[in-house]
């Protein structure tokens, strides 16, 4: 098979899977529907692997153009794919992790009435996500960008009988659209200034456009990233998005879709490198979000909400990396995060599954002996996200921190605090769920069971990747070759040229690393003392919390703020338009114009009263007037 | 000759339909609409995309003493709108089959309407254009008046008078231009273009205002839109479809064909005002749509918003915007046709259009719900649906014109999602209630109407190339006439 056929088939297979399952609806046997869904993603994974191997062995990037999509005036956009190291890595993550989550869903969604529908949406999601990373131009990326937003909407509101879930779905879609508006205007401005929306054309001419224009463009693009990757101020949809089934949270709202913003900024690295102001903005937003979300996560009691805020925070860390120009490092963390956060979500799903839908950690506890595989794999995930060497998160997080330390010590300090908070809330979660007393109802404990193998096998595989995934980017000081960095180098080469190279001395790096690991252990010990030794349990709903805790528990009241500042005013303005401007303003005027005509007509109508005598009288008067008039001339 | 056939076949058939009894008459009407579709498709395949001049043209002397000719022809711009008309008409007729109470006259009026619409889109003579323009008003007026809902008398009268007033201004402007044609006065489109070029600036502005008023009312553009929500809401389904899916394109087409090339200097100067009005209309109508309680009225307001974007994009006078307007006219026609049909299907089954009383239809009618989703996505311009192509090109042209105008117009991306998702949630999601619990799913001929809509929405979204190609040469030609003229006067 030729490579261009393989490349085209990668997104087309999941699309075909979607079409097949969607068109047959419930008529398709369940087993067959999941076979189609998993199979199509698996074949795409194999193809992605083939491309990846080709690229690793020094092959050139592939650029395949299928057909002209939109062409109007001087605007032209194609359906075409670019497979370079960056998109190839993304392909592996999407199809690889995606496949595991598909398999997991077989077990997790087993009893759901919308089984087939679920798999069709998942396949559609994979299709759009692949378009997003494979597109060779901005517009095709935008197609994927909005498409994954649609699938996210459909899957958050998957259980559509519950209107709260539908509200969450609407919120996600609308917030993303705010970002999308920024993104699309950015893309249009790119077209206006570069005359093309093809990556290759734009990047080649990147330095021909003035800095202020580039800054404007990159900020607009970043607004899109804020929406999709849930950064301040557009992050509030992601915690609510946990309304969707847990595999969705793992696939879309942790491993793949939400990292689209990171991918996009990394893809446009040269534009960001050339506009320092935007890069600064990325750094500020990233670090602020990392800290802010982490503080909220420590007070949440819903197991998925903790993980959701953790995702927001970790995405913030990735943007810190991008903001200091360490693009490969950001992608590295994105990859390891995809492993361990997917693992954690799937593990949480397994817990929820075992407890028949219970999500509140206050009603869990002591589960480790009942669901050992889930416990062990989850534990590995926690170690990985906490940055315990040599698990995956350690290498990638450390790489971010040391890059940040070079450029901005403030950002470094914030990132360190956020990381330590991460350690705290993750161990809090681990201890509350798996350690201590059993707090679930007797009925639930009675039915508790380890999940079926379709759930545990993906957990085990992901645990394996979370344990060793970090070795793809072992830095120099551990005499590693930073393989990932070198693999991705062609994508970032222009930016790296522009960036002055200065590295921390190995001594400094060791000291930083040791300090952080030391603090990490202290935090773990503290969490252990608090939640295992003293067996503290977060207070029940309705109990008064102290000031700061209260604020954190209510997520800084940001949702309430948005409600008061944006949602309500929009509603009022709309009401004002509808009732005052429309009905008593414009339409009144229109009717008034009609009424005026009618009123005048009423007056003129009096002239025609049908009486012959009156007409003769008027006629005589008229004749007299004419005669009089002609005499006076 | 094919053009003449397209115009007169439905006209003759409409007389025949009156003579036969139901149910023969409605099937006859449907067959004629299908025949029209076939003819137009044959024309589309025979259409030379590279040529800028009108094709399939016919030029007959009519009232030679007044310089009035029966001259019709089809260039790329006309071709797309003729296709829109012929594609939708069979669907509109088919959509009435659920309800068997309509007499033959109803179908006769529909065919008369089709004849007039195609006439408007193909007329190459000012007087002829005006005749078709006014003739098109009559059938739809009677359709709304006779088969409409509550308060139809008052509301349709307002609609009639409002649009007629606009048209009269256009008539005055046409006559004014006619008296400025060189040599023996003529209503020929090229002579009128030349006459317009010869006018001084203030005269051009007068003609601009008169034409714009007529077209703006028809579309409608803010603030000339207040007849529209009421009329769309009380009109019977087929009336609403005719008005929203096809007839409002007469206004947009008018701007393209009879305004921009006729008075380029005035357009150059005052087009921006029109653009800003249109952009205000986008935000204004979107906001109002958010708080609507009546499903049909909500779609009516969303239509104002979408049309506002088309009008705004037109006045950027660049090729991207103009092509965007062309493709968006098709997309909007198809989407709004499907949307109003869904409104009607739900209304027929539940007897209500009140959003607060609906909900949970997804549980009982999955097909209806899936079709709704696709059409909704077309409406909110999700990529790979037809709505995206046009909306992107239009916003593109506006951003290039002025980035902030583009950004405000782009709010439709957000607000459109707000009101459409809210509607979907209220109508389709949630638990079923007593009103919606027994809603049957789509029946055979509803599917026959809606599946093609779904397919068109997706196919145009994925592969719009052939349609964009049809209008490209004509749009380029039109804009070059415009820029030549506006330059030559300066």
Q: Does A150 touch chain B (CB under 8 A)?
A: yes
| Minimum-distance CB partner of B421 among A160, A174, A181 | A174
DSSP bridge partners of A302: A360
Give me B353's structure tokens: 């259009």
Euclidean distance between CA atoms A454 and A35, whole angstroms: 13
Helices (H), A500-557: 506-528, 547-553
Q: How far apart are the first and last CA of chain B?
A: 40
Question: Quick one: pLDDT at residue B102?
Answer: 80
Cis peptide before B207 (omega within 30 of 0): no
**Contact A161/B360, CB-based, under 8 Å?**
yes
**Contact A75/B320, CB-based, under 8 Å?**
yes
DSSP A61: P
By three-state DSSP, how is residue A360 classified?
Answer: strand
Report strand pairing: A62-72 vs A75-83: antiparallel
DSSP B125: B
Euclidean distance between CA atoms B405 and B411, whole angstroms: 10
By three-state DSSP, how is residue B69 classified?
Answer: strand
By three-state DSSP, how is residue B459 classified?
Answer: helix
Chain A residues touching B370 at Cβ < 8 A: 22
Question: Quick one: pLDDT at residue A463?
Answer: 94
Nearest to B93 by CA among B110, B116, B113, B117: B110
Question: Quick one: pLDDT at residue B99?
Answer: 66
What angle do the packed helices A392-407 and A409-434 form, to 10 degrees?
160
Nearest to A318 by CA among A335, A326, A329, A330: A330
Cis peptide before A390 (omega within 30 of 0): yes
Shortest alpha-carbon distance between residue A298 and chain B (Å): 33
| Minimum-distance CB partner of B430 among A147, A161, A571 | A161
Question: Quick one: pLDDT at residue B322?
Answer: 93
Distance of alpha carbon B407 from its chain centroid, rounded? 25
Chain B residues touching A190 at Cβ < 8 A: none
Over residues A201-221, the pLDDT tens digits come to 999 988 888 899 999 999 999
Euclidean distance between CA atoms B183 and B69, whole angstroms: 16
Q: Does A407 touch chain B (CB under 8 A)?
A: no
By three-state DSSP, how is residue B284 classified?
Answer: helix
User: Please, what's the b/e burial string for A410-432 (b: 16 or more CB within 10 A of its CB; e: otherwise)?
Assistant: ebbebbbbbbbbbbbbbbbbbbb
CB A332 within 8 A of CB A492: no
Residues with pLDDT less than 70, chain B: 98-100, 485-490
Give me A491's structure tokens: 């994508």
By three-state DSSP, how is residue B98 classified?
Answer: coil
Nearest to A520 by CA among A375, A397, A349: A397
Euclidean distance between CA atoms A222 and A279, whole angstroms: 10
DSSP A355: T
Residues in CB range of A359: below 8 A, 6 or more apart: A302, A303, A304, A352
Nearest to B118 by CA among B58, B187, B36, B190: B36
For B319, which residue in chain A has the nearest alpha carbon?
A73
Q: Does A70 touch chain B (CB under 8 A)?
A: yes
* pLDDT above 70 as % of chain B: 98
Shortest alpha-carbon distance between residue A440 and chain B (Å): 30
Rounded to a whole number of angstroms, the CA Rg of chain B reads 21
Rounded to a whole number of angstroms, the CA Rg of chain A reads 31
Euclidean distance between CA atoms A43 and A6, whole angstroms: 10
Place of tokens 């046409």: B174
Question: Quick one: pLDDT at residue A112?
Answer: 86
For B364, which residue in chain A has the nearest alpha carbon?
A161
C-alpha to C-alpha distances, A276 to A211, A282, A322, A498, A530, nearest whole angstrom = 9, 10, 12, 12, 44
By three-state DSSP, how is residue B402 classified?
Answer: coil
Over residues B103-147, the pLDDT tens digits come to 888 999 999 999 999 999 999 999 999 999 999 999 999 999 999
C-alpha to C-alpha distances, B17 to B40, B95, B148, nearest whole angstrom = 22, 18, 21
Chain A residues touching B417 at Cβ < 8 A: 173-174, 177
Give me B18's structure tokens: 């009156």
Nearest to A411 by CA among A570, A281, A270: A281
C-alpha to C-alpha distances, A32 to A16, A105, A453, nearest whole angstrom = 14, 14, 18
Euclidean distance between CA atoms B454 and A81, whole angstroms: 27
Other CB atoms within 10 Å distance of the CB of residue A439: 17
Mean pLDDT, 10 residues at a time, chain A of 633 residues: 88 94 84 91 94 88 90 90 93 94 91 89 95 94 94 92 91 93 95 92 89 93 94 91 91 92 94 92 94 91 92 94 91 93 93 87 85 92 91 90 89 93 93 86 82 90 91 75 83 81 75 89 90 79 72 82 86 87 84 84 80 85 87 74
Euclidean distance between CA atoms A329 and A296, whole angstroms: 26
Shortest alpha-carbon distance between residue B162 and chain A (Å): 9
Euclidean distance between CA atoms A278 and A222, whole angstroms: 8
Cis peptide before B220 (omega within 30 of 0): yes
Euclidean distance between CA atoms A331 and A333, whole angstroms: 5
**Contact A146/B288, CB-based, under 8 Å?**
no
Question: Quick one: pLDDT at residue B488?
Answer: 53
CB A361 within 8 A of CB A433: yes
For A143, which residue in chain B has the nearest alpha carbon?
B383
Give me B407's structure tokens: 């950004």
By three-state DSSP, how is residue B473 classified?
Answer: helix
By three-state DSSP, how is residue A64 classified?
Answer: strand
Shortest alpha-carbon distance between residue A126 and chain B (Å): 16
By three-state DSSP, how is residue A205 classified?
Answer: coil
Question: Quick one: pLDDT at residue B113?
Answer: 94
Region of A535 please: left (phi>0), alpha (psi -120 to 50) or beta: left
**Contact B291/A74, CB-based, under 8 Å?**
no
Euclidean distance between CA atoms B215 and B252, whole angstroms: 7
Nearest to B313 by CA among B219, B240, B203, B377: B219
Q: Break chain A down into helix, strand, coil percent, rounded to 5.
A: 80, 5, 20
Task: Report residue A355: phi and psi, to 5°.
Answer: -100, 20
Q: Does A210 touch chain B (CB under 8 A)?
A: no
Distance of alpha carbon B154 from its chain centroid, rounded? 24
Euclidean distance between CA atoms B231 and B245, whole angstroms: 14
């Amino acid at each position: 098979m030729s490579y261009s056929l393989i490349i085209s088939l990668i997104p087309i297979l999941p699309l075909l899977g979607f079409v097949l399952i969607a068109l047959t609806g419930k008529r398709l046997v369940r087993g067959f529907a999941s076979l189609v869904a998993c199979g199509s993603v698996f074949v795409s994974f194999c193809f992605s692997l083939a491309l990846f191997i080709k690229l690793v062995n020094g092959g050139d990037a592939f650029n395949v153009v299928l057909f002209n999509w939109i062409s109007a005036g001087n605007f032209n956009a194609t359906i075409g794919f670019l497979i370079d190291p960056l998109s190839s890595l993304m392909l592996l993550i999407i199809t690889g992790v995606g496949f595991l989550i598909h398999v997991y869903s077989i077990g997790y969604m087993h009893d759901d009435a919308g089984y087939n529908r679920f798999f069709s949406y998942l396949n559609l999601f994979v299709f759009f996500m692949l378009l997003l990373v494979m597109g060779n131009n901005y517009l095709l990326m935008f197609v994927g960008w909005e498409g994954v937003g649609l699938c996210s909407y459909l899957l958050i509101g998957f259980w559509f009988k519950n209107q709260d879930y539908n509200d969450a779905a609407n919120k996600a879609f609308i917030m993303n659209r705010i970002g999308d508006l920024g993104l699309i205007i950015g893309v249009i401005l790119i077209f206006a200034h570069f005359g093309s929306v093809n990556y290759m054309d734009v990047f080649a001419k990147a330095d021909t456009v003035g800095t202020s224009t580039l800054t404007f463009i990159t900020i607009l693009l970043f607004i899109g990233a804020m929406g999709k990757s849930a950064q301040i101020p557009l992050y509030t949809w992601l915690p609510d998005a946990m309304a969707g089934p847990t595999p969705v949270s793992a696939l879309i709202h942790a491993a793949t879709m939400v990292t689209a913003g990171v991918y996009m900024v990394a893809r446009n690295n040269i534009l960001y490198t050339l506009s320092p102001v935007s890069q600064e903005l990325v750094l500020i937003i990233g670090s602020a979000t990392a800290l802010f979300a982490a503080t909220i996560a420590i007070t949440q009691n819903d197991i998925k909400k903790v993980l959701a805020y953790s995702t927001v925070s970790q995405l913030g860390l990735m943007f810190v990396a991008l903001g200091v120009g360490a693009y490969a490092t950001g992608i590295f963390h994105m990859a390891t995060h995809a492993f361990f956060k997917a693992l954690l979500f799937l593990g949480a799903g397994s817990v929820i599954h075992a407890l028949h839908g219970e999500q509140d950690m206050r009603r869990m506890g002591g589960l480790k002996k009942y669901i050992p595989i889930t416990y062990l794999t989850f534990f590995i995930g926690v170690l990985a996200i906490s940055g315990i060497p040599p698990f995956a998160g350690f290498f990638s997080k450390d790489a971010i921190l040391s890059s940040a330390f070079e450029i901005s010590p403030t950002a470094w300090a914030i990132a360190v605090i956020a990381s330590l908070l991460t350690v705290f809330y993750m161990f809090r979660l681990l201890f509350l769920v798996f350690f201590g007393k059993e707090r679930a109802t007797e009925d639930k404990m009675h039915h508790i069971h380890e999940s079926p193998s379709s759930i545990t096998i993906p957990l085990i595989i992901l645990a394996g990747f979370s344990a060793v995934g970090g070795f793809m980017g072992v830095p120099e000081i551990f005499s590693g070759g930073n393989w990932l960095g070198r693999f991705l180098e062609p994508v970032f080469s222009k930016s790296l040229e522009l960036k002055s190279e200065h590295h921390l001395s190995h001594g400094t790096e060791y000291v930083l690393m040791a300090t952080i690991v030391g603090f990490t252990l202290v935090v773990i010990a503290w969490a252990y003392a608090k939640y295992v030794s003293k067996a503290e349990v977060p207070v029940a709903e309705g109990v008064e919390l102290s000031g700061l805790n209260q604020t954190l528990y209510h997520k800084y009241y940001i949702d309430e703020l948005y409600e008061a500042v944006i949602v309500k005013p929009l509603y009022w303005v709309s009401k004002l338009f509808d009732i005052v401007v429309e009905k008593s303003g414009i339409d009144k005027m229109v009717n008034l114009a009609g009424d005026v005509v009618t009123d005048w007509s009423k007056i003129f109508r009096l002239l025609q009263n049908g009486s012959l005598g009156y007409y003769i009288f008027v006629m005589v008067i008229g004749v007299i007037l004419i005669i009089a008039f002609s005499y006076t001339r | 000759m094919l053009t003449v056939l397209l115009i007169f076949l439905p006209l003759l058939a409409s007389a025949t339909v009156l003579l036969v009894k139901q149910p023969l008459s409605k099937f006859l009407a449907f067959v004629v609409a299908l025949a029209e579709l076939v003819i137009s498709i044959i024309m589309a395949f025979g259409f030379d995309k590279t040529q800028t001049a009108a094709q399939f043209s016919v030029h007959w002397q009519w009232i030679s003493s007044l310089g009035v000719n029966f001259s019709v022809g089809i260039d790329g711009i006309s071709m797309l709108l003729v296709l829109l008309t012929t594609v939708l008409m069979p669907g509109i007729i088919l959509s009435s089959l659920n309800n068997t109470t309509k007499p033959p006259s109803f179908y006769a009026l529909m065919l008369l309407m089709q004849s007039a619409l195609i006439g408007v889109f193909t007329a190459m003579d000012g007087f002829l254009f005006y005749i078709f323009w006014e003739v098109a008003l009559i059938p739809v007026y009677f359709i709304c008046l006779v088969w409409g809902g509550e308060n139809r008398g008052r509301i349709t009268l307002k609609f009639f008078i409002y649009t007629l007033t606009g048209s009269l201004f256009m008539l005055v402007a046409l006559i004014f231009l006619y008296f400025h044609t060189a040599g023996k006065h003529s209503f020929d489109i090229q002579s009128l273009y030349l006459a317009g070029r010869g006018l001084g600036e203030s005269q051009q502005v007068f003609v601009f205002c008169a034409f714009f008023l007529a077209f703006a009312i028809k579309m409608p553009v803010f603030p000339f839109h207040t007849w529209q929500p009421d009329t769309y809401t009380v009109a019977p389904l087929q009336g609403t479809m005719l008005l929203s899916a096809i007839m409002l394109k007469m206004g947009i087409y008018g701007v393209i064909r009879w305004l921009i090339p006729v008075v380029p200097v005035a357009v150059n100067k005052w087009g921006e005002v029109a653009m800003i009005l249109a952009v205000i209309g986008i935000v204004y109508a979107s906001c109002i749509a958010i708080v609507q309680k009546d499903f049909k009225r909500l779609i009516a307001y969303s239509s104002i918003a979408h049309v506002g974007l088309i009008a705004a994009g037109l006045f950027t006078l660049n090729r991207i915007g103009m092509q965007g307007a062309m493709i968006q006219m098709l997309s909007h026609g198809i989407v709004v046709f499907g949307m109003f049909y869904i409104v009607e299907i739900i209304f027929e089954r539940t007897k209500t259009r009140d959003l607060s009383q609906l909900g949970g239809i997804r549980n009982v009618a999955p097909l209806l719900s899936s079709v709704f989703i696709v059409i909704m996505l077309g409406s909110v311009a999700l990529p790979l649906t037809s709505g995206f192509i046009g909306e992107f090109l239009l916003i593109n042209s506006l951003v290039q014109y002025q980035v902030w105008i583009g950004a405000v117009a782009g709010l439709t991306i957000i607000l459109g999602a707000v009101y459409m998702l809210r509607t979907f949630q209220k109508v389709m999601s949630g638990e079923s209630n007593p009103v919606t619990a027994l809603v049957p799913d789509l029946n055979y001929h509803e599917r026959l109407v809606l599946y093609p809509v779904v397919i068109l929405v997706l196919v145009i979204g994925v592969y719009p190339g052939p349609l964009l190609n049809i209008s490209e040469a004509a749009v380029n030609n039109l804009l070059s006439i415009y820029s030549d003229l506006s330059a030559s006067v300066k």
